Structure 1
Amino acid sequence: MSLANQLQQACWFVTLACARHTAAIAKGDTMPATLLPTALLQGLPLLWHNPARQPAAQALATLPYGAADIAAAIARWQRFAPLLAHCFPDSVAADGRIDSPLLAQAGPGGTVWVKADHALPVTACIKARGGVYEVLCQAETLARRAGLLAEGSNYALLAGDAARALFARHTILVGSTGNLGYSVGVMARALGLQVEVHMSSDAKAWKKDRLRALGARVVEHAGDYAAAVASARQLAAADPQAYFIDDESSLLLFFGYAAAAHDLKAQLDTAGLQPTPACPLRVFLPCGVGGAPGGVAFGLKCLYGDAVQCVFVEPVASPCFLLRLASGDDALSVYDIGLDNRTLADGLAVPRASATVAGLVQHLVDAVVTVSDDSLLAEVRQQWQQHGLRLEPSAAAGFVAQRLAASQWPQQVIPLVWTTGGHGLPDEVFLPLLAG
């Protein structure tokens, strides 16, 4: 970045800071606005501690949602279990649960734990926890309205002829860079729902191809993720038979992800791991718009309180959640500070964070780490060569962040990296990443 561009960015943000400070004074708020970190503006990796982070009990007490909402999502997942086992007998266990293994990696700094959602059943990505869940919730709603689903019914009947005839008259729309669209598409098509996925320019061709192979309609956009979402939202609003899955503001997605915290707790208990405030669980969560990491972080804070630290990880070119947390401004995008939102981590290529999620977790996120594309590629190779993990660049982000945090944020912790996608990468996409 040129000196002129750096000066331009600095002047721009000073202007923004002054405007925000003036507005704060007008509202009687004496909290001064702060400037963004220089490394963020320059597109350099950094570890940023969230100054707005509060003790978990204090932050959670102010929110309109809590542990009861997560318990309701878990109960709903359990009702869907027979349907999932019926629809995906080759990938979902007989109990119908969608979960991933907890792995241990030995290293020079000790054991790093891996929540392997890159190998999650049905979709091989974390979006199964959100996208699959919201499609199931909509199918449940449609079936109940039509009188096909009585209280206590076995939900496997949603795969029957009557339900499929009903679902065929309805369409699910979603905007995506790839993995959410695929998760929505897989579940919707399994039930006979029509699917329309609006894909950003960042989306990979192979992700579009596999959606078309499912029978989904793929709409390609020259713009970014935000443009794809906006288009899908507008079209769905005009069609009474359409349902829009809104990655930017859906609470169903959020709680689908939040339920995963209970899956992890059961695995940690089995492994004999009991986080405490003195030795917390430090979880690294790749972050795009924020729904998946936000939901998981919310679930973990509800369970563990201050015995867990939640660290979001973003590409240096797309640090939208860090920008939102640091500025407090929902309207800001990474373009506004001179970054281009171009990254190999296509699943994280999002210019503006979810205002809904940021509002819920802004006091729960402990830190954000930004990582470079070069480090992601190196990590993809290392994880394959040393541990046999087939990851896409987005899913490798947590490993890079964990090492940076270990060097700059020394503390006795239980480190855990949450991988998010990659097991489904075709050879023609994965092998070039290794050769790079």
Structure 2
Amino acid sequence: MVEVTRDDVLAAEARIAGAVMETPLLQSEICGVACHLKCESLQTGGAFKLRGASNRLLAMSADERARGVVAFSSGNHAQGVAIAAQRLGMSATIVMPGDAPELKVAGTRAAGAEIVFYDRAGESREAIAARIAAESGAIVVPSFDDPWVIAGQGTVGSEIERQLGTAPNAVVVPCGGGGLTAGIALALPGARIVAAEPEGWDDMRRSLAAGEIVPVGKGAPPTLCDALQTPRVSLLTFDILRARGVEVVTVSDAEVREGVRLAWQEHRLVVEPGGAAALAAVLAGKVAVHEGTVIVLSGGNIDPALHAEIVG
């Protein structure tokens, strides 16, 4: 298997400089403790995904870029790949679930990508993407099962260290496939890393507990965290999290709503449910925080009507 290292994260930071925003690291008092919020919800495209997508595409040769790319995503990776491809003059096809939030679909289209919809319950997005790649010659850019993507997402961690002037004692991260968590774990080898998954979609937590990959079973419950609905984590991210001793907790929709609400009420930050999972875990007392703990807000692409309903 390809190994991803901290050096790869640092190389990615240099490669994507100028292609992504340095997002704010805000001071906040959470549960009576002075913490920091890393606002990837304010990243171009509304999520951290532009980092990994930019690193992957910028590392391609001219011949590879000419072939275009295909990706599969419920929205945030879709927009990240679409934006990165548009900037480089590349074609992009994105396989998206039919129930993807309209805001994310619109954002992906606005960046010039072609969208192919699939049935989340009955079709395989990986198989569809593989077929498109075989027919068109395009290169598949996974949302987390790719060393270049993981290294790019890890720049969130190296950026946090640079902004603080030192490595944080702990970072709490929303987790779907584990690309962001794995990248930050590599970037900050001395920090405690805690991942937060939605209830019923906690395949990383169950996989780490079992010592082998355990996919999400059939009949998984609905969740507001569409961005974190990963049916199966990859061996690449699983191995990194296991080697680093990453802890994983789960959050309910009710707890996620509290995270979305606090981000808005205290900081006027618009954060989507999946992007607020780490904050939700802290607010629910599922992660013990200490002064200087960093909580990642990973995305802000939420339907305006849903946001208005949550924040009241």
| TM-score by shorter chain over 0.5 | yes
After superposition, what is the alpha-carbon deviation per residue over 1:383-427, rounded to whole angstroms, capped at 9, x for unaligned?
2122211100111111121234xx4665755321101111x5463
Separation in structure 2 between the aligned mates of residue 112 and residue 175 of structure 1, nearest angstrom = 34
1:311 is aligned to: 194
After superposition, what is the alpha-carbon deviation per residue over 1:92-127, rounded to whole angstroms, capped at 9, x for unaligned?
xxxxx522011011245221211111101x212111
- State which of 21, 24, 45 in structure 2 corresponds to 1:101: 24
Separation in structure 2 between the aligned mates of residue 386 and residue 202 of structure 1, nearest angstrom = 31
- Are the counterparts in 2 of residues 176 and 225 from structure 1 also a CA contact under 8 Å? no
2:155 is aligned to: 259
- Are the counterparts in 2 of residues 175 and 225 from structure 1 also a CA contact under 8 Å? no
When you count helix as a share of all residues, which structure comes out higher? 1
User: In structure 2, do the counterparts of structure 1 residues 191 and 73 end up closer, same or farther at CA, with 3 Å as the change threshold?
Assistant: closer
In structure 1, the residue corresponding to 2:212 is in which secondary structure? coil
Separation in structure 1 between the aligned mates of residue 170 and residue 145 of structure 2, nearest angstrom = 26
Separation in structure 2 between the aligned mates of residue 293 and residue 300 of structure 1, nearest angstrom = 11
User: In structure 2, do the counterparts of structure 1 residues 329 and 410 end up closer, same or farther at CA, with 3 Å as the change threshold?
Assistant: closer
1:416 is aligned to: 294
Separation in structure 2 between the aligned mates of residue 226 and residue 256 of structure 1, nearest angstrom = 29
- Are the counterparts in 1 of residues 144 and 150 from structure 2 also a CA contact under 8 Å? no
User: In structure 2, do the counterparts of structure 1 residues 108 and 340 end up closer, same or farther at CA, with 3 Å as the change threshold?
Assistant: closer
2:304 is aligned to: 427
1:71 is aligned to: 10
After superposition, what is the alpha-carbon deviation per residue over 1:112-153, rounded to whole angstroms, capped at 9, x for unaligned?
211111101x21211111122222222xx11xx59xxxxxxx
In structure 1, the residue corresponding to 2:310 is in which secondary structure? helix
1:128 is aligned to: 50
Separation in structure 2 between the aligned mates of residue 327 and residue 134 of structure 1, nearest angstrom = 31
In structure 1, the residue corresponding to 2:250 is in which secondary structure? strand
Separation in structure 2 between the aligned mates of residue 203 and residue 111 of structure 1, nearest angstrom = 36
For structure 2, the 5+ residue unaligned runs are none
- State which of 225, 233, 249 in structure 2 corresponds to 1:345: 225
Separation in structure 1 between the aligned mates of residue 112 and residue 12 of structure 2, nearest angstrom = 29
- State which of 165, 168, 181 in structure 2 corresponds to 1:293: 181
In structure 2, the residue corresponding to 1:370 is in which secondary structure? strand
In structure 2, the residue corresponding to 1:111 is in which secondary structure? strand
- Report the AA paired with residue 231 of structure 2: P
Aligned positions of 1:43-54 closer than 5 A: none
User: In structure 2, do the counterparts of structure 1 residues 321 and 184 end up closer, same or farther at CA, with 3 Å as the change threshold?
Assistant: same
Identity of aligned residues (%): 26
In structure 2, the residue corresponding to 1:362 is in which secondary structure? helix
2:82 is aligned to: 185
2:146 is aligned to: 250
- Are the counterparts in 2 of residues 175 and 198 from structure 1 also a CA contact under 8 Å? yes
In structure 1, the residue corresponding to 2:45 is in which secondary structure? coil
Aligned positions of 1:34-433 closer than 5 A: 64-78=3-17, 81=18, 84=19, 98-120=21-43, 122-138=44-60, 141-142=61-62, 169-223=66-120, 227-240=124-137, 242-269=138-165, 275=168, 281-301=169-189, 305=190, 308-330=191-213, 332-335=214-217, 340-404=220-284, 407=285, 412=290, 414-422=292-300, 424-425=301-302, 427-433=304-310
- Report the AA paired with residue 388 of structure 1: R
- Are the counterparts in 2 of residues 200 and 221 from structure 1 also a CA contact under 8 Å? yes
- Are the counterparts in 2 of residues 176 and 229 from structure 1 also a CA contact under 8 Å? no
- Report the AA paired with residue 105 of structure 1: S
- Are the counterparts in 2 of residues 177 and 200 from structure 1 also a CA contact under 8 Å? yes
In structure 2, the residue corresponding to 1:334 is in which secondary structure? coil
After superposition, what is the alpha-carbon deviation per residue over 1:230-251, rounded to whole angstroms, capped at 9, x for unaligned?
31123213433x1110224211
Aligned-pair distance for 1:65? Answer: 4.0
After superposition, what is the alpha-carbon deviation per residue over 1:334-355, rounded to whole angstroms, capped at 9, x for unaligned?
216xx51521100001121122
Separation in structure 2 between the aligned mates of residue 413 and residue 223 of structure 1, nearest angstrom = 41
Aligned-pair distance for 1:191? Answer: 2.6
Choose 1 or 2 for highest CA Rg. 1
- Report the AA paired with residue 239 of structure 1: S
Separation in structure 1 between the aligned mates of residue 182 and residue 93 of structure 2, nearest angstrom = 25
Q: Which runs of 4+ in 1 moved over 6 A?
A: none
User: In structure 2, do the counterparts of structure 1 residues 213 and 107 end up closer, same or farther at CA, with 3 Å as the change threshold?
Assistant: closer
Separation in structure 2 between the aligned mates of residue 130 and residue 309 of structure 1, nearest angstrom = 22
For structure 1, the 5+ residue unaligned runs are 1-62, 85-96, 147-166, 276-280
After superposition, what is the alpha-carbon deviation per residue over 1:244-263, rounded to whole angstroms, capped at 9, x for unaligned?
10224211101111233221
User: In structure 2, do the counterparts of structure 1 residues 299 and 369 end up closer, same or farther at CA, with 3 Å as the change threshold?
Assistant: same
Please report the RMSD computed on the Cα atoms of aligned residues, expressed in angstroms: 2.5
In structure 2, the residue corresponding to 1:312 is in which secondary structure? strand
Q: TM-score, normalised by structure 2?
A: 0.90
Separation in structure 1 between the aligned mates of residue 290 and residue 92 of structure 2, nearest angstrom = 47
In structure 2, the residue corresponding to 1:414 is in which secondary structure? coil
In structure 2, the residue corresponding to 1:123 is in which secondary structure? helix
- Are the counterparts in 2 of residues 201 and 224 from structure 1 also a CA contact under 8 Å? no
